């Protein structure tokens, strides 16, 4: 990021909380700038992206090699489209317990404003269908 690695090295020694991109965190773990053994909690926002070799996955894997124990707080408003994908995220981030909330959850209800949802079905126009057809022919 905007801070040089050597400056971050000093910050890692004294700070209690650091906010970094996953890529910076991974680089700091790889280069030894981050003392992984001192990290006790990894917070991952948009955790549903923790699939394949995403930097979130790399971060959890590298931290697991350097830390005797750390907790993961993984947050996502869109956890996954199917059970296999959700299990991949759970495994990749070493998640051991899941808590889910929705609009009816007791600790959420009082925080929401009322809203009304209307479903509107829009028929595709001739221009849209023509463009779609041309696109599908050009890029099958």
pTM for the model: 0.74
Q: What percent of the chain has pLDDT over 70?
A: 99
CB 34 within 8 A of CB 43: no
Q: What is the CA radius of gyration of the chain?
A: 21
pLDDT over 70 (residue 75): yes
- Can you tell me the distance from the alpha carbon of 140 to that of 137, in angstroms, rounded to the nearest whole number? 6
Over residues 15-24, the mean pLDDT reads 93
> What's the pLDDT score for residue 1?
61
Over residues 51-70, the mean pLDDT reads 94
Over residues 11-24, the mean pLDDT reads 93
Over residues 99-118, the mean pLDDT reads 88
> What's the pLDDT score for residue 140?
76
Q: What percent of the chain has pLDDT over 90?
A: 74
């Amino acid at each position: 990021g905007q801070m040089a690695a050597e400056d971050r090295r000093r910050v890692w020694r004294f700070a209690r909380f650091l906010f970094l991109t996953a890529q910076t965190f991974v680089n700091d773990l790889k280069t030894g700038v981050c003392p992984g053994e001192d990290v006790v909690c990894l917070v991952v926002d948009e955790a549903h992206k923790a699939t394949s070799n995403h930097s979130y996955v790399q971060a959890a894997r590298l931290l697991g090699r350097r830390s005797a124990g750390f907790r993961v707080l993984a947050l996502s408003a869109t956890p996954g489209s199917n059970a296999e994908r959700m299990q991949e995220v759970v495994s990749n981030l070493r998640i051991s317990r899941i808590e889910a909330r929705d609009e009816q959850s007791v600790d959420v209800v009082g925080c929401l404003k009322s809203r009304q949802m209307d479903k509107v079905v829009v028929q595709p126009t001739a221009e849209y269908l023509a463009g779609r057809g041309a696109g599908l022919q050009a890029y099958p």
